[in-house]
């Protein structure tokens, strides 16, 4: 098959990493083709809060945040240690400010910092975090491109009408990057075009991709400088989740069922890539909905979370990945995959946490995912946990609440947990569960994407098991083994590391 078209750079996928890489290409004078498998751009990045973790960048400085690359590196390396290569960690952290500057001052995307604490008590932690966000953008400004952008989770997975007159978070990033690519005159963006194979020459160099276009026709697209795999992870591929992560289902991931299909992993492996961290995800608790989807749940403000034994097993106000890891540990210990968020009606009957979309009580009750009872025995019977154990758990927690100190899990002692309660001391984080009505809502182990994939160098080049690179092939975002290893250091590391490594990959292609 001959080449159907030719570009300098081919980018597979259209999330944050992909679009940042594509912009880096256009600004280096390279032609780029962004190829998206589904009928919408943005992937899971379009669902995201849009926080991008880049320590020591100019936006933080402008807004008076005391930070530096070295402080960020101290923090990051204290957590991740030698679980990933120190030179890749340094490459991410040192290039972060360069990418922030590029996006705002070269591309023209207005940026702002919003406070969101780092996730661990470690040297170099920033109480306000190091997140930057693209300014919201109006639908009017996005124009015809609006319909090409994957909408937020409530609309995309739950059929709920949402107001899209103003795009914020991940939506704003995707919209602004697409508009900038359109304006560049050097980018072609294709929808409904899965990349099905990589093309390699006799020396093993990746020279292009094979795609199936919207009309079903197969063709080959040549990439003169390189191919960037930024096609997300494999969170929605049941066989890969079962094989690598022993997950009972792929349905609890927050990603859309059509994205996160694991294509990038398959493509990288087909070219001889080494892989790593395949047992890892960006984990989170998730509220199970009747349609089988599970919604990312964070910012617990009251209540407790118990496992199938009726016991607490962690500080419910932990950052979501750390809570998810605690849930995963319970599952691995054989305690099953049913978790229950138990709370009372002291502050109303809504879930005392952030969950998008907010779960409807009636709908979840009808599906057996939300139970309400007048006392603990009745609630325990409804959710199938041992009544004595649940009663003892609630009693103990209420004693902690009275004393203002969680002796089991130190809830409320870390600024992250207090952030969502708006508290400065632990006491407001420890409200007793003793109202006249008790609720239990089913939680499962969810994720924001997998984080294992192709092993990459400091330049984002895909490595073979023998340490040589696959010439012409690069990976970033959840298609690459994460620089954060099995840790989620702070809000915006998935997008931040993906965007930076994509930027570095394209710089390497251009050299």
Looking at the Cβ atoms of 226 and 426, the one nearer to ligand FAD is 226
SS3 content of the chain, % helix, strand, coil (to 5): 35, 25, 40
Residues constituting the chain: 511
Regarding 231 and contact with ligand FAD (CB under 6 A), the answer is yes
- Distance, in Å, from the CA atom of 14 to the CA atom of 178, rounded to the nearest integer, reads 9
Q: Is 238 helix (H, G, I), strand (E, B) or coil?
A: helix
Exactly one of 23, 30, 34, 47 binds ligand FAD (CB under 6 A); which one?
Answer: 47
Task: With contacts defined by CB under 6 A, name the span among 118-126, 217-225, 340-348, 485-493 that binds ligand FAD.
Answer: 485-493
CB 47 within 8 A of CB 205: no
Regarding 305 and contact with ligand FAD (CB under 6 A), the answer is no
Neighbouring C-alpha atoms within 13 Å toward the C-beta of 214 = 9
Looking at the Cβ atoms of 63 and 196, the one nearer to ligand FAD is 196
What's the distance, Cα to Cα, between the start and end of the chain in Å?
29
Exactly one of 10, 11, 17, 271 binds ligand FAD (CB under 6 A); which one?
Answer: 17
Task: With contacts defined by CB under 6 A, name the span among 10-18, 242-250, 305-313, 406-414 that binds ligand FAD.
Answer: 10-18
Considering CB under 6 A, how many residues would be counted as binding ligand FAD?
Answer: 44
Q: List, in order, residues 6 or more apart from 224 with CB less than 8 Å away.
A: 6, 7, 8
Regarding 306 and contact with ligand FAD (CB under 6 A), the answer is no
CB 444 to ligand FAD: min, Å: 14
Regarding 96 and contact with ligand FAD (CB under 6 A), the answer is no
Looking at the Cβ atoms of 426 and 452, the one nearer to ligand FAD is 452
Tokens for 320, please give them. 């979501």
CB 154 to ligand FAD: min, Å: 10
Looking at the Cβ atoms of 252 and 313, the one nearer to ligand FAD is 252
- Distance, in Å, from the CA atom of 276 to the CA atom of 485, rounded to the nearest integer, reads 9
Looking at the Cβ atoms of 21 and 56, the one nearer to ligand FAD is 21
Residue 449 burial (10 A CB sphere; 0-12, 13-18, 19+): buried
Task: With contacts defined by CB under 6 A, name the span among 24-32, 59-67, 226-234, 312-320 that binds ligand FAD.
Answer: 226-234
Binding mask 259-298 for ligand FAD (x = CB under 6 A): xxx-x------------------x-------------x--
CB 363 within 8 A of CB 357: no
- Distance, in Å, from the CA atom of 43 to the CA atom of 177, rounded to the nearest integer, reads 13
- Radius of gyration of the chain measured on its C-alpha atoms: 23
Task: With contacts defined by CB under 6 A, name the span among 236-244, 311-319, 374-382, 473-481 that binds ligand FAD.
Answer: 473-481
- Distance, in Å, from the CA atom of 129 to the CA atom of 492, rounded to the nearest integer, reads 9
CB 341 to ligand FAD: min, Å: 18
Exactly one of 26, 31, 45, 95 binds ligand FAD (CB under 6 A); which one?
Answer: 45
Looking at the Cβ atoms of 442 and 451, the one nearer to ligand FAD is 451
Regarding 49 and contact with ligand FAD (CB under 6 A), the answer is yes
Regarding 16 and contact with ligand FAD (CB under 6 A), the answer is yes
- Distance, in Å, from the CA atom of 509 to the CA atom of 8, rounded to the nearest integer, reads 9
Q: Is 460 helix (H, G, I), strand (E, B) or coil?
A: coil
Looking at the Cβ atoms of 190 and 431, the one nearer to ligand FAD is 190
Q: Are strands 461-463 and 453-454 parallel, antiparallel or unpaired?
A: unpaired
Regarding 21 and contact with ligand FAD (CB under 6 A), the answer is no
Closest C-alpha among 2, 16, 452, 448 to residue 228 = 16
Task: With contacts defined by CB under 6 A, name the span among 135-143, 406-414, 432-440, 471-479 that binds ligand FAD.
Answer: 471-479
Regarding 232 and contact with ligand FAD (CB under 6 A), the answer is yes
Q: Scanning residues 409 to 448, which ones bind ligand FAD (CB under 6 A)?
A: 448
Q: Is 429 helix (H, G, I), strand (E, B) or coil?
A: helix
CB 446 within 8 A of CB 277: no
Task: With contacts defined by CB under 6 A, name the span among 97-105, 214-222, 300-308, 490-498 that binds ligand FAD.
Answer: 490-498
CB 507 within 8 A of CB 258: no
Neighbouring C-alpha atoms within 13 Å toward the C-beta of 252 = 23
Interface with ligand FAD by CB under 6 A: which residues?
12-18, 35-38, 43-45, 47-51, 153, 194-195, 230-232, 254, 259-261, 263, 282, 296, 448-449, 477-479, 491-496, 498
């Amino acid at each position: 098959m001959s080449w159907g078209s030719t570009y300098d750079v081919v980018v597979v996928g259209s999330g944050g990493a992909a679009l940042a890489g594509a912009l880096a290409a256009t600004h280096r004078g390279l032609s780029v083709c962004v190829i998206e498998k589904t009928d919408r751009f943005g992937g899971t990045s379009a669902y995201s809060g849009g926080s991008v973790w880049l320590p020591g960048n100019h936006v933080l400085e402008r807004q008076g945040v005391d930070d530096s690359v070295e402080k960020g590196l101290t923090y990051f390396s204290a957590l991740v240690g030698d679980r990933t290569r120190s030179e890749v960690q340094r490459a991410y952290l040192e290039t972060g400010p360069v990418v922030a500057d590029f996006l705002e001052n070269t591309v023209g995307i207005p940026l702002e910092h919003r406070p969101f604490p780092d996730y661990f008590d470690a040297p170099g932690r920033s109480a306000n975090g190091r997140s930057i966000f693209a300014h919201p953008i109006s639908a009017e400004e996005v124009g015809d491109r609006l319909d090409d952008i994957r909408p937020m989770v409530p609309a995309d997975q739950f059929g709920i009408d949402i107001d899209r007159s103003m795009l914020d978070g991940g939506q704003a990033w995707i919209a602004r990057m697409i508009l900038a690519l359109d304006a560049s005159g050097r980018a072609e963006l294709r929808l409904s075009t899965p990349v099905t194979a990589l093309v390699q020459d006799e020396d093993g160099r990746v020279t292009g991709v094979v795609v199936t276009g919207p009309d079903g026709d197969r063709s080959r697209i040549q990439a003169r400088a390189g191919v960037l795999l930024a096609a997300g992870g494999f969170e929605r591929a049941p066989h890969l989740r079962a094989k690598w992560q022993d997950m009972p289902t792929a349905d609890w991931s927050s990603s859309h069922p059509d994205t996160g299909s694991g294509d990038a992993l398959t493509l990288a492996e087909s070219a001889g890539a080494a892989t790593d961290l395949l047992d890892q995800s960006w984990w989170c608790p998730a509220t199970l909905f009747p349609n089988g989807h599970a919604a990312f749940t964070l910012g617990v403000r009251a209540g407790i979370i118990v496992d199938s034994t009726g016991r607490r097993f962690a500080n419910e106000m932990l950052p979501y990945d750390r809570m998810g890891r605690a849930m995963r540990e319970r599952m691995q210990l054989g305690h099953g995959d049913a978790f229950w968020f138990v709370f009372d009606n002291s502050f109303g009957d809504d879930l005392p946490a952030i969950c998008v979309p907010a779960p409807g009580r009636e709908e979840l009750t009808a599906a057996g995912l939300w139970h309400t009872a007048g006392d603990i025995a009745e609630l325990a019977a409804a959710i199938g946990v041992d009544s004595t154990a649940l009663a003892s758990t609630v009693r103990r927690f209420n004693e902690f609440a009275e004393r203002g100190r969680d002796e089991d899990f130190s809830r409320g002692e870390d600024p992250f947990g207090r952030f969502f309660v708006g508290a400065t001391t632990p006491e407001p984080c420890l409200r007793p569960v003793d109202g006249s009505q008790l609720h239990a809502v089913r939680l499962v182990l969810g994720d924001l994407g997998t984080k294992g994939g192709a092993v990459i160098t400091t330049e984002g080049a895909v490595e073979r098991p023998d340490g040589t690179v696959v010439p012409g092939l690069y990976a970033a975002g959840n298609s690459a083994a994460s620089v954060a290893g099995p840790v989620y250091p702070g809000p915006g590391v998935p997008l931040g590391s993906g965007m930076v490594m994509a930027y570095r990959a394209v710089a390497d292609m251009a050299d």
